[in-house]
Structure 1
Amino acid sequence: MSNFQIGFCNLEYLKLSEFPTLKEKIWNGRLPVGLFCNVKWLVLDEVSDMSSSFPSHVLYDLKNLETLEVRNCHSLKDLFDIEGQTLKNNEEEILGFNNLKSLKVHNCGSLRYLFTPSIILGLDKLQEIEVKSCDLIEEIIKKDEEQKADIGKIIIPHLKSIVLELLPDLANFYSGSNDLECPSLKSITIANCSKMESFVFTDLKEKSHSDYTSHLFSEKVGFS
């Protein structure tokens, strides 16, 4: 292994916008597998020529990633490569990102959602979701008409914080038929989301009677 490869193997923070040539090689699979295995914090900022989603080989290579920030990537249409996701032993798994704790997405003009139910079930360590200034986002978790019935209840066990700001097309957090639970959720911030109508979680124990809250939360919304 060259000194170049050894140096990147020890890397824990990477901001790809500062290395456009490196980004192109990563996306096209022209770098050694495992080169970024120790990266814990990845920032993509102003990567205008980014492909429509994270390729599955990139997800696999970033299996120790804990913080992902995506900013000003206007060509990004899908945050995760859905074709690269697999179902194994009736448990939803995502190729890589199993250790992801914080996801921040700002000013990505082509995104319409962040997750599918199968993907979010693979992110069981996720603690923070922050989405700001994404004009086309309609849902955070995409309603999947062809979703398998055996997925059952969707649980995000460690999610503590949700921030949603300046999302003019956001209508729901999740509008699918499956129950959604966030038992560790402590903080929700919603600002300038004019179409926001409902979150879908389960077993809401305390529910406000204000008109705003009745539109924001459905009968399936719940926190511990």
Structure 2
Amino acid sequence: MVKGLSHLSKIEVCECNSMKEIVFRDNDSSANNDITDEKIEFLQLRSLTLEHLKTLDNFASDYLTHHRSKEKYHDVEPYASTTPFFNAQVSFPNLDTLKLSSLLNLNKVWDENHQSMCNLTSLIVDNCVGLKYLFSSTLVESFMNLKHLEISNCPIMEDIITKEDRNNAVKEVHFLKLEKMILKDMDSLKTIWHRQFETSKMLEVNNCKKIVVVFPSSMQNTYNELEKLEVRNCALVEEIFELNLNENNSEEVMTQLKEVTLDELMKLKNNGVEILKEFLVFKI
């Protein structure tokens, strides 16, 4: 059965309220065929959509993983909460589009060495209430073809990219092809822009309740490729571009911006708009 899945080009699973896994290998088949460590490859899969799956723990698991996910210990969360949703058991080498929506048990999407979605171009994550972050900084290099990133309604997510321990410093890697980012209805997100996003041409931010500065001064000169910027309904936003401007450094900041929309930003400082006019050079 599992081998036959390699020919699928599209998978869409929605509103299955008791489903725990998409693919499950039982104990007998694993033992008899000695395939416990064999990777399941979806070689032809181009599109994967998983929506409104309240009890889904993993994309794929075997007998042991399935039963460990049910165990609870004193003062310890369930096994599923510390296990990546996509683990080393599955591979999607040609996946182009991934949508994860209303997966209430989703706490971690990938493991730290995940490299099976290298051709992914579009990623949409919506209403995943257990996610605190989407990528680790070491994981970015596994998504070199990502062009479209959309995140919404993830109430406890504080960062899109989480930083590694400084004692474990690694070379910073960027998304090479990222073009469009949409972030909306995020209650806890504290940081919008990361250096890894510097190729992005379009950024839409809507109803991100804890954002104070969209582009902090530490990110100066990392948004030079941005052409369209839209910031709406962000109650705490005081500045769009925080620039390091002083007597010794008053150079204009070059951008490709052609369209800027600012709406319902009640705390936006006047100098935030003035900076847009005076110090940012728009190429039209």
Task: Report if TM-score (shorter chain) is over 0.5.
Answer: yes
Do structure 1's residue 187 and structure 2's residue 184 form an aligned pair?
Answer: no
1:62/1:97 contact within 8 Å kept? yes
Specify every segment of 5 or more residues in structure 2 that has no aligned partner in the other structure, as ranges.
58-80, 230-236, 246-252, 257-284
Alignment of structure 1 residues 109-120 onto 2, 5 Å: 109-120=129-140
State how far apart, in whole Å, the 1-side matches of 2:11 and 2:244 are: 40
Label 1:49 to 1:22 Cα distance change in 2 as closer, same or farther (>3 A): closer
Match of residue 54 from structure 1? 85
Alignment of structure 1 residues 153-192 onto 2, 5 Å: 153-173=172-192, 180-192=195-207
1:37 CA drift (Å): 1.9
State how far apart, in whole Å, the 1-side matches of 2:169 and 2:141 are: 14
Q: 2:102 aligns with which of 72, 78, 95?
A: 72
Match of residue 15 from structure 1? 12
- Bigger drift between 24-33 and 109-118 goes to 24-33
Match of residue 129 from structure 1? 149
Structure 1 vs Structure 2: percent identity of aligned residues? 21
**Which one has the bigger strand percentage?**
2
State how far apart, in whole Å, the 1-side matches of 2:254 and 2:88 are: 36
TM-score under structure 2 length normalisation: 0.60
Do structure 1's residue 212 and structure 2's residue 239 form an aligned pair?
Answer: yes
1:142/1:174 contact within 8 Å kept? no
Match of residue 105 from structure 1? 125
Label 1:167 to 1:116 Cα distance change in 2 as closer, same or farther (>3 A): same
State how far apart, in whole Å, the 1-side matches of 2:26 and 2:157 are: 24
Do structure 1's residue 81 and structure 2's residue 111 form an aligned pair?
Answer: yes
1:204 CA drift (Å): 4.3
1:63 CA drift (Å): 1.9
1:45/1:72 contact within 8 Å kept? yes
Label 1:24 to 1:18 Cα distance change in 2 as closer, same or farther (>3 A): farther
1:163 CA drift (Å): 0.3
2:156/2:189 contact within 8 Å kept? yes
Larger Rg: 2
TM-score under structure 1 length normalisation: 0.74
Specify every segment of 5 or more residues in structure 1 that has no aligned partner in the other structure, as ranges.
86-93
